[in-house]
Every structure is written in structure tokens, then in C-alpha cells.
Amino acid sequence: MSGCHNDFPLHKLNSGSFHHQGVLPLPPADGLTVRINNYDDEGVSEPRFDPKIHLDLRRPKYVRLFPDFDKADRALKVDSNAGSRFGFSSPFQVSFLVTVFKCKINIVILQVLSAEGVRVAKEIAFKNQPSAVGPGNIRGTKTGLRGGYYLSPWLRDLQNCKELLDFFEEFVGEPLIPHCTFSNVPQVGSCEQSTFLLGKIVKCMCTNR
């Protein structure tokens, strides 16, 4: 059969149908190569995640919508299997503190965490640094700490936080859930020139002094 996937009988039969997937449960701990940490486990000294303390959500000023990058306050609510028209948003600030030694860095990423949330996130990242993989296993010259969803109950609760997910749904137009590849998310990258950076960098410009 030629043509696109929409030409297949299965797609024609179910055209217009959609169902929002829920968050996947954690895998069984037995036989897992990575330990799934919980707040009460020995050696886990993390505060319990509290959105009232650890979040400081500030929405972007506008979004751009596919296919023509129209400017809008938010994407329309998704009511079909076509998915969200959300393309990208205006920059909005995250309070991450970056220590720079050899280059000037201008970072624009979204506002999610409060100052206390940043402190806790950095503490978790540095504590778990021995579990990071080196440049031979990750792009570039940095090291990468993966699987924070397993290693940190605080990070796990952050990713599943209803307030945070509702915040994104408000301007994306449909519910979002944590990525189902728990062994990779969230990822924390580090290099010799900066402290750990947590979260996805939307724009980063470095210029040598």
C-alpha cells in the first residue's frame, strides 16, 4: 500500500479518536540495575517535594503555533488526534545559578523552580555526581547524570507534580506527562567550566572572554 500512514484502514477506522496516556508506573525493583530510592530509605537525605516551597511558576508571554507560527497567548485545547499546535514559547526565566570560569554564558530557560527548589535540585545533582557517565557515553565533553527519576524521590515528585503538569497544559493545550524512559530522565549535564545545569536549555550562547 502506498501513501502516508493515514491511508491505512486502521487509521481510517479510528480517525478522530484519541486517549490521553497516564504516567507509567515504576518498574519492579527486583532485578533492576538501578536502585529506586524513596524518602525513607537509608542514605536518602532529601526534603519532601512541596510545590508551595519548591516551585515558582511563571508562564511565557506568548506562544507560536504550527503550521504558520502564529502568535497567541496559548495553544488551543486539543480535541482530536491531531495533537497540539504548540510550536515554541517566548523565553521565560529559571532561577538556576551558574558558575562560569572561562566563558560568559547567557542562558534563557523557563521559570519553574523557586530559589529553594534550585538549592535542593543542585544538592541532589552534586550528591549523585558519582553515578554520572563520562564523555565516552554522552555527547560532547560533559558528563551526564541520568535516571534521576529512580535516584531521587524529590525529582520524581517534581516531574509528577500536578501543579507543574497543569502549568504546561495551560499553554500547550493538552496534558503532558513525564517521559516514559525513566532511565534517562531527568538528565543533568556537567562540565569543567560550569556547575551542574538541571533542565532543558532552550537557548545558550557562550562567548570567550
pLDDT at residue 71, as a whole number: 95
Looking at residue 69, what DSSP letter applies?
T
pLDDT at 78: 86
Cis peptide leading into 27, omega within 30 of 0? no
Burial (CB count within 10 angstroms: exposed 0-12, middle 13-18, buried 19+), residue 167: buried
Instruction: Give the separation between CA 194 and CA 16, rounded to whole angstroms.
Output: 48
Q: Which of 60, 87, 61 is nearest to 76 (CA)?
A: 87
The answer to pTM > 0.85 is no
Rounded to a whole number of angstroms, the distance between the first and last alpha carbons of the chain is: 58
Which of the residues in the chain have pLDDT under 50? Answer: 1, 95-109, 193-209
Strands 103-108 and 194-198: unpaired
d(CA 20, CA 174): 9
Predicted pLDDT of residue 110: 55
Maximal CA-CA distance, the chain:
60
- Cα–Cα dist 86/66, whole Å: 6
For residue 195, what pLDDT is reported? 44
- Long-range CB contacts (< 8 A, 24+ apart) of 79-85? 80/16, 80/18, 81/14, 81/15, 81/16, 81/17, 81/18, 83/174, 84/172, 84/173, 84/174, 85/173
The secondary structure of residue 58, as a DSSP letter, is E
Q: Is the dihedral of CA 78, 81, 82, 87 positive or negative?
A: positive
Q: What is the pLDDT of residue 144?
A: 81
Whether 201 and 193 have beta carbons less than 8 Å apart is answered as no
